Amino acid sequence: MSVWTVSYEGFDPKKEKLREALCTLGNGYFCTRGAAAEASANEVHYPGTYLPGGYNRLKTEMAGKIIENEDLVNMPNWLPLSFRIDHGRWFSLSKVELLEYEQKLDMEQGILTRNFRFKDDESHITQVISTRIVSMADPHLAAEKLVLHPENWSGRVQFRSAIDGRVINDGVARYRDLNSRHLEPMTTHNGAEDVMCLMARTNQSRLEIAEAARTRIYRNGHLVIPDRETLEETGYIAQLFELEADQKDTLTIEKVMSLYTSRDPAISEIGLETCKKVSRAEAFDELQAAHGEAWKRLWHRFDMKFTDRDPDRGARIAKILHLHTFHLLQTASLNTVTMDLDVGIPSRGWHGEAYRGHIFWDELFIFPFLNLRLPEITRELLMYRYRRLEEARFAAKEAGYSGAMFPWQSGSNGREETQTIHLNPRSGRWNPDNSHLQRHVNSAIAYNIHQYYQATRDTEFISFYGAEMILEIARFWSSLATYNRDMDRYEILGVMGPDEYHERYPDTDGSGLNNNAYTNVMAVWVIERAMAFLDILPGDVAEHLSLRLDLQKEEIGRWRDITRRMFIPFHGDGIISQFQGYEDLEEFDWEGYQQKYDDIQRLDRILGAENDTPNRYKVSKQADVLMLFYLLSAEELSTIFEKLGYTFEYETIPKNIDYYLRRTSHGSTLSRVVHSWVLTRKQRSKSWELFNEALCSDVADIQGGTTPEGIHLGAMAGTVDQVQRGYTGIEVREDVLWFNPCLPEELSELKLELRYRGYFLDVDITCDQLSVSALRAKEHPISIGYQEEVKELYGRDSVTFSL
Amino acid sequence: MSVWTVSYEGFDPKKEKLREALCTLGNGYFCTRGAAAEASANEVHYPGTYLPGGYNRLKTEMAGKIIENEDLVNMPNWLPLSFRIDHGRWFSLSKVELLEYEQKLDMEQGILTRNFRFKDDESHITQVISTRIVSMADPHLAAEKLVLHPENWSGRVQFRSAIDGRVINDGVARYRDLNSRHLEPMTTHNGAEDVMCLMARTNQSRLEIAEAARTRIYRNGHLVIPDRETLEETGYIAQLFELEADQKDTLTIEKVMSLYTSRDPAISEIGLETCKKVSRAEAFDELQAAHGEAWKRLWHRFDMKFTDRDPDRGARIAKILHLHTFHLLQTASLNTVTMDLDVGIPSRGWHGEAYRGHIFWDELFIFPFLNLRLPEITRELLMYRYRRLEEARFAAKEAGYSGAMFPWQSGSNGREETQTIHLNPRSGRWNPDNSHLQRHVNSAIAYNIHQYYQATRDTEFISFYGAEMILEIARFWSSLATYNRDMDRYEILGVMGPDEYHERYPDTDGSGLNNNAYTNVMAVWVIERAMAFLDILPGDVAEHLSLRLDLQKEEIGRWRDITRRMFIPFHGDGIISQFQGYEDLEEFDWEGYQQKYDDIQRLDRILGAENDTPNRYKVSKQADVLMLFYLLSAEELSTIFEKLGYTFEYETIPKNIDYYLRRTSHGSTLSRVVHSWVLTRKQRSKSWELFNEALCSDVADIQGGTTPEGIHLGAMAGTVDQVQRGYTGIEVREDVLWFNPCLPEELSELKLELRYRGYFLDVDITCDQLSVSALRAKEHPISIGYQEEVKELYGRDSVTFSL
């Protein structure tokens, strides 16, 4: 079994959407998505193409209310490439008899191929091999090559190569009542020789997009210049080429495509730039070679090697981890760094229209992995937040708070994009949506800034951007917290935790819940970190920043007080209550519902359809309290709790895990990742089981249909990070890179190459040994720790610990 | 004498353009320029406003040839703000009797004020105080406040506040035959309440610009809501406000303005964003306070304090150095960093239309200063080059070379923008222009990358961007160099050095010259540095980069060979020839011409008008050979020369300085900077004299009219750097920060705060002592050196050396 190839034999229209989602190509600058087979059955390939960051805001009336949406916009489709024989019917998969069909994604090289043979109504048998890349070597380029073999016929072949700007957004069924047209045509034109160009703009934000394509045709490897005819309609341009084909000829059509948008740097006018680009581009094979080299370099940085005691299982896991990393690198791409793209990390990658490309908190599961590989990507993605800091400050002010309140869902200009009503597709009803009360997204941002700094010691970043964000978030938490004189403690009222099943107390009209434990503890953690950053900043940066933010001693005093008196709810025997009053909820009839329904992951929809609500039950969509054990080490938690005057014992963690694990439906793909992680050391086989389930989130589309709407990037990265940080126990604390390996019994060895504070480190872990070797670096020494022992590493040294 | 204020008493229409240029306000994101008095004599203030990076390309027929220009585009003018009394004539400086007039630029706070009293035809006496800022605290905001005191009248006052999008580019007389219209109107509209908005786009690049203004009126400090009338014409919008004024009333009109362009990150639609911004903006006084705080922080980083034995002279010099730093910080702004502006450093700042905002090599005189203050700015400005690397590669390829050939003049998309014909305004003739043959700009870029790295040790930057650029430039030099079998040496043929008086051999039709010494030596230096970078890069970055660039051993072999056999021309007794054959040129009749013409700085134009050419003479517009002594230390030069098999003696430097100093007209403002620098140690009084002349470049407009077309940023930065690095002898070599102080006799003490490899260092130099103290830093120790002695500095330590 190849660990580098995803392949599907045979064409299955029912599975096509899922397969296409999993085989999506992209490079961060643009992503192409496969399928939507019905929509374009007359072409060999049918992808919609998304434009990262190409947001568009449209007011739509729905269920009697005006909804303002921020939609991910489909780009003009550059892929239409079809052919016909003797002026017959244009090729369509559904209109021919398929003799063979194989689709293959080569993840090592970033190449998608389709190889098929078909017989048409005239009994022509033809073999077709299509190869497609979206260049990692040059963000502006993509290319496709179609090779056609007439097996039993000779005749005239006509090729049609088009750019279609009439695309709409209809990839998600339940959004189809929303306005689907976001693109308006500008112009089409033929450039020099074999180049055609189409320009369009988004209809609200007026982002301009230019695409150009150069189409070349080869017969038996020799360039031919067939007659060319151009078709131009509003928002559509096509070139038709006609030539004679003999039986056994090899006809090749190469389409190289370039893309620019009006936000790109270093351009004059996008029409000129895109035509220039495609005219200067090399031929397909050279583009493919450079693209393959770029992927090779990426894999060199990102691969991890492990030995499974069962080689078949190992290969299956390796393949899925490759797929997860592949999509991660296409979305959180190195091109976001080199292209100044100003994008964040959307929950569903750039792969589908679900969640409309919005940015949630998924970066919490993604950045810690990237930090130890190519932290430069994280830095650029954190800048997405920094550029929206002012909007977050305004949001806090409008809501009556201080500091910065980042939105739960974020789009182009950083305002809150969370819907205020939400469709239950099971009941068909629109319900109020309080999910914007998930203020915990702010702690996720602060956590990532801290993690990035720990991994890189990038003083410039924290001096200019990082510290300011974390201070403003701390300030927000402080202003959101209210002092309760009766308890002599601070509280955070009216918020939602990550578990979206609970958005209010049952039988009330209020919104939000009081003292969500995850929110409260993380608020304290953020405040602690903010105070620590004031000590870390070099020179007089802290002083200048405090002046600029008007940060007074009294305010810091309140912060310090909050870290000593924040309220955390408990119930039963040391169980941290998900929120205050959780213990009063009813236990849920898990067995009954499991019998009644096939799939109870989305209990909210099931209960909603029964006129009931999960608000009434001790039931979670996903890990909430357990997030604490996912993000913070036992040492850190115990310090926080002790300072707050709460008991934190050795048994607190397993007891809570056990309690909540039994009450979770895993309605979010992130849930299994967190549960697997927190069980790594305490319940290795259960952890391994959940890890394997999490691996299947997308490849098996375990939520039944959500993957074709876009992959689940948090879960993808989370599983890779379970191997990278979960099983190695990596943690940076007090300038030491600590390891605490705990391989699952199924694995005998794990090898990683990590980046840490300027070093490239080769890490090798077996059952009884940990070794860390440095590649060439002219950096200052670093410290590596295991248990009580800390060793210094310098230059090309290596250090070894017995486990 | 205040060292922080530039002030002019009395209004002088002849000097107004110069004064306005010197008092230009800006913040990097946008710059406002004063004057163009004729164009808008009916307003209190008349500035055109430039948009950095808002290039526009227009084909223009000129002298029978099609010229493609890339022009800096004037933004819509947000400043029109006028008034009239009792529906009389709108206020115009030229139509009233001025009783008092003062214009004042407060550089410490970044505030421009005008204070005047006038009497109109009706004998109304009125006092007006106008205050203007372009915010350093918020890149999108600018504001103006106009305070009006009726001294001897009561009546109805009408204010008119406008945004004018009908502006053209006509700031440079000799460009007026070129197309001056680059802006086309889009829309105007009234936003909520007191906000108006105008949108326009550039007519070639379709960059969109939105400006909004909020105008508020106060009587005796209380907000009043007078009747408002709106005037809208194509490309123009104005609000008229009318109210009653009593004698002794204080009427205040506050205009707050916001600006967005379609290239900005984190926006939805520019019209929305700009209106939102201005609606949320605070009142003038708060904006001014935040702006002043931002300048305070900047000055804290950038100021230098010195003690002149003559306090008056010291104050005069300090004021000019402040002015130079002020304009430097407005152009090479911190906002280019935080706003991802993708701009380079234009020769004339963003202050005037001369050179159309093009980027030349001036950064060579600017970045080394910034590196030791806020290196983050340099990094961002170097990224301007990196984003145009591909275009430079294409240019090299097109010209038959390898690697990257950056253009002499650069604009939006990085192609060569140098004019091919050039107007001699003295003769009225258009002459062919070979100045694009100034390939030495490539060495300037490489030099700056190296300097930046030395000051910061920013491994990430060189790994991702810097090394790639320097390797590609080395490769270009290697491919440009040709091997001459007869000499057994490499040559570089057909180029131009910095001295633009020499662009071909006399009496030939060829273009360029052979073996320009500066070019050849710097090519060797670049190649040496490129090879060194391959050793410095961490991990396997060098290997990956070599693979990506297909850098083979043979090529490195050729590089090594070139560093041993590059040809350098000499003549006479150890004089480095400016280029091969220089010794055959005629000596120039300096005395004769000095008698014949008042000003012989631009000898090219004088000789051209006489049908002669400087190509025939031993005469330089500016330092060429001497640039070597400006950029490289004697140690470095001697190593290079020895390796090449040439003699480099202690006397080589003074001998060459002496030779060329006598043959230079200083036709470039950069020339005196270089001469002053190279004489620092050898001829202190001559150096001091040239330094003082260089200080006057702009304040006295010594080129007679060029300053109103835009300040000379290279000379401005060069003079500041003469103090920072020239008099301190700062050089980073082998990881040691070396000092070699040599204060002019006129100065008794010099204090600087420098940034070096994560440290903030306080440097204090007197005649007999050098001390360097570190502010808080958690960095690794650094080494400070003086003569043979090297001391380690760590944490908050300080080190002292006796001089």
CB contact under 8 A, A293 and B547: yes
Q: What is the pLDDT of residue B602?
A: 84
CB contact under 8 A, A413 and B548: no
Instruction: Give B-chain residues touching A204 at CB under 8 angstroms.
Output: 268-269
Q: Position of tokens 């007389």?
A: B173
User: C-alpha dihedral over A273, A276, A277, A282, to 10 degrees?
Assistant: 180
pLDDT above 70: percentage of residues in chain A = 95
B554: pLDDT strictly greater than 90: yes
Q: What is the pLDDT of residue B651?
A: 92
CB contact under 8 A, A340 and B342: yes
Per-residue pLDDT, averaged over B461-476, amounts to 97
CB contact under 8 A, B412 and A266: yes
Locate the chain A residue with the closest alpha carbon to B762. A539
Indicate the SS3 state at residue B525: helix
**Pairing status of strand B195-202 against strand B5-9:** unpaired
**Helices B517-536 and B553-565: crossing angle, nearest 10°?**
140
Q: What is the pLDDT of residue B423?
A: 75
One-letter amino acid for residue B183 of the chain: L
CB contact under 8 A, B208 and A206: yes
Q: Give the span between the Cα atoms of A474 and A406, in whole angstroms.
A: 12
Locate the chain A residue with the closest alpha carbon to B391. A266
Residue B292's contacts (CB-CB under 8 Å, 6 or more residues apart) are B109, B110, B111
Residue B754's contacts (CB-CB under 8 Å, 6 or more residues apart) are B372, B373, B724, B730, B760, B761, B763
Instruction: Give B-chain residues touching A388 at CB under 8 angstroms.
Output: 266
Q: How confident is the model at residue B59 (pLDDT cuts 50, 70, 90)?
A: low
pLDDT above 90: percentage of residues in chain A = 71
Give the Å distances, CA to CA, from A67 to A64, A430, B394: 9, 12, 48
Instruction: Give B-chain residues touching A207 at CB under 8 angstroms.
Output: 262
**pLDDT tens sequence across B234-247:** 999 999 999 999 99
Q: Which of A711, A742, A715 is nearest to A727 (CA)?
A: A742
Least confident of A672-681, B339-348, B570-579: B339-348
Q: Which of A70, A265, A337 minimises the CB distance to B342?
A: A265
Instruction: Give A-chain residues touching B776 at CB under 8 angstroms.
Output: 538-540
Distance (Å) from the C-alpha of residue A443 to the closest C-alpha of chain B? 21
Locate the chain B residue with the closest alpha carbon to A291. B548
- Token digits of residue A748: 């005998």
B34: pLDDT strictly greater than 50: no
Q: Cβ distance A228 to A193 under 8 Å?
A: no
Query: What is the average pLDDT score of chain B?
Result: 90
Q: Which of A458, A378, A442 is nearest to A405 (CA)?
A: A442
Locate the chain A residue with the closest alpha carbon to B538. A777
Query: Mutate which of B413, B755, B763 to disrupt the A interface (most A C-beta within 10 Å)?
Result: B413
**Pairing status of strand B421-424 against strand B304-308:** unpaired
Residue, of B609 and B626, whose pLDDT is higher? B626
Per-residue pLDDT, averaged over A414-425, amounts to 82
Instruction: Give A-chain residues touching B394 at CB under 8 angstroms.
Output: 280
Q: Give the span between the Cα atoms of A78 and A188, in whole angstroms.
A: 13
Residue, of A421 and B250, whose pLDDT is higher? B250
CB contact under 8 A, A387 and B266: yes
Q: Position of tokens 């770029």?
A: A294
Per-residue pLDDT, averaged over B503-524, amounts to 94
**Pairing status of strand A798-802 against strand A789-793:** unpaired
CB contact under 8 A, A779 and B538: yes
CB contact under 8 A, B539 and A387: no
Q: Which residues pair with B133 in a beta bridge?
A: B143
Q: What is the pLDDT of residue A599?
A: 84
Q: How confident is the model at residue A7 (pLDDT cuts 50, 70, 90)?
A: very high
- Token digits of residue A38: 């019905």
Distance (Å) from the C-alpha of residue A308 to the closest C-alpha of chain B? 28
pTM: 0.95
Sign of the dihedral through C-alpha B528, B531, B533, B536 = negative
**Of residues B500, B528, B555, B746, which has the active-site annotation?**
B500
Q: Give the span between the Cα atoms of A589 and A610, in whole angstroms.
A: 14
Distance (Å) from the C-alpha of residue A205 to the closest C-alpha of chain B? 5
- Token digits of residue A472: 């403003």
A-contacting residues in B 67-96 (Cβ below 8 Å): 70
Distance (Å) from the C-alpha of residue B420 to the closest C-alpha of chain A? 20
A-contacting residues in B 177-216 (Cβ below 8 Å): 204-208
Instruction: Give A-chain residues touching B381 at CB under 8 angstroms.
Output: none
CB-count burial class (<10 Å; 0-12, 13-18, 19+) for A430: middle
Q: Which of B394, B202, B358, B344 is nearest to A276 (CA)?
A: B394
- Token digits of residue B731: 């050089």
Instruction: Give B-chain residues touching A340 at CB under 8 angstroms.
Output: 265, 340, 342
Q: What is the pLDDT of residue A42?
A: 35
**Pairing status of strand A31-32 against strand A222-224:** unpaired
Q: Give the span between the Cα atoms of B430 and B433, in whole angstroms.
A: 9
B69: pLDDT strictly greater than 70: no
Q: In the A/B pair of chains, how many CB contacts fall below 8 A?
A: 133
A540: pLDDT strictly greater than 90: no
Which positions of A are catalytic? 500
Distance of CA A55 to the CA centre of its chain: 17
**pLDDT tens sequence across B128-150:** 999 999 999 999 999 999 999 99
Instruction: Give B-chain residues touching A268 at CB under 8 angstroms.
Output: 55, 57, 70, 204-205, 411-413
ipTM above 0.90, yes or no: yes
**pLDDT tens sequence across A661-702:** 999 988 888 999 999 999 999 899 999 999 999 999 999 999
Locate the chain B residue with the closest alpha carbon to A779. B538
Q: Is A460 on the interface with B (CB under 8 A)?
A: yes
DSSP A48-95: -EEEEEEEEEEEEEETTEEEEEEEEEEEPB---EEEEETT-PPP-GGG
Locate the chain B residue with the closest alpha carbon to A56. B268
Q: Give the span between the Cα atoms of B633 and A767, in whole angstroms.
A: 57
Distance (Å) from the C-alpha of residue A769 to the closest C-alpha of chain B? 24
Distance (Å) from the C-alpha of residue B135 to the closest C-alpha of chain A? 14
Q: What is the pLDDT of residue B714?
A: 96
Q: Cβ distance A591 to A561 under 8 Å?
A: no
Q: Cβ distance B385 to B342 under 8 Å?
A: no
Per-residue pLDDT, averaged over A139-156, amounts to 95
Q: Give the span between the Cα atoms of B180 and B203, in whole angstroms.
A: 11
CB contact under 8 A, A263 and B262: yes
**pLDDT tens sequence across A471-480:** 999 999 999 9
Q: Which of B266, B293, B340 minimises the CB distance to A547?
A: B293
Q: What is the pLDDT of residue B67?
A: 52
Rg (CA), chain B: 27
Least confident of A38-47, B45-54, B105-114, B606-615: A38-47
A35: pLDDT strictly greater than 70: no
Sign of the dihedral through C-alpha A567, A572, A577, A580 = negative
Per-residue pLDDT, averaged over A267-286, amounts to 94
Ordered alpha helix ranges (H), A189-283: 270-280
HEC per residue, B451-469: HHHHHHCCHHHHHHHHHHH
Q: How confident is the model at residue B56 (pLDDT cuts 50, 70, 90)?
A: low
CB contact under 8 A, A266 and B548: no
**Pairing status of strand A736-739 against strand A782-786:** parallel
**pLDDT tens sequence across B717-756:** 999 999 999 999 999 998 999 999 999 999 999 999 999 9
Q: What is the pLDDT of residue A64?
A: 54
A95: pLDDT strictly greater than 90: no
Query: What is the average pLDDT score of chain A?
Result: 90
Q: Is A176 on the interface with B (CB under 8 A)?
A: no
A580: pLDDT strictly greater than 60: yes
B280: pLDDT strictly greater than 70: yes
Q: Give the span between the Cα atoms of B655 and B642, in whole angstroms.
A: 18
Q: Cβ distance A275 to A195 under 8 Å?
A: yes
Q: How confident is the model at residue A38 (pLDDT cuts 50, 70, 90)?
A: very low
Backbone angles phi, psi at A761, to 5 degrees: -115, 130
B366: pLDDT strictly greater than 70: yes
Per-residue pLDDT, averaged over A136-144, amounts to 94
Q: What is the pLDDT of residue B168?
A: 83
Q: Which of A273, A297, A388 minimises the CB distance to B413?
A: A273
Least confident of A51-55, A250-254, A579-583, B263-267: A51-55
